[in-house]
Amino acid sequence: MTAKVTVEDVKRVAELAHLELAAEETPAMLRDLNTILDYVAELNELDTAGIVPLAQVSDLLDANGKGVVRADILRPSLDRAVVMSEAPETDQAFFKVPKVIER
């Protein structure tokens, strides 16, 4: 958990996140990530063996009561024409994007 982030790590993670970092952005990101990860390493002090992770507070018995899950029923959603009017490029039926694979 105290792994030091390298320039290669930053580039790999940026690629995973579809972020194209400019060359001048990388050193600052590297420094900040290492500072923050050094700080969060404090959590290693705690023994958490056997503790059930808490992903959602609705899970807590005292929060929202039991089982807040909606019924899975098909309902009308926004009209296609309304949604498509917000697209950067569209033929009104589909979203248009640059080519996906090189030929």
89 binds other proteins (CB under 8 A): yes
21 binds other proteins (CB under 8 A): yes
91 binds other proteins (CB under 8 A): no
DSSP code string of 53-89: P---GGGSHHHH-S-------------HHHHHTT-SS
Q: How far from 97 is each of 9, 30, 83, 101, CA to CA, in Å?
A: 29, 32, 16, 11
Binding site for other proteins (CB under 8 A): 1, 3, 5, 9-10, 13-14, 16-22, 25, 28-29, 32-33, 35-37, 39-40, 42-43, 46, 48, 51-58, 60, 62-65, 68-70, 78, 82-83, 85-89, 95, 97-100, 102
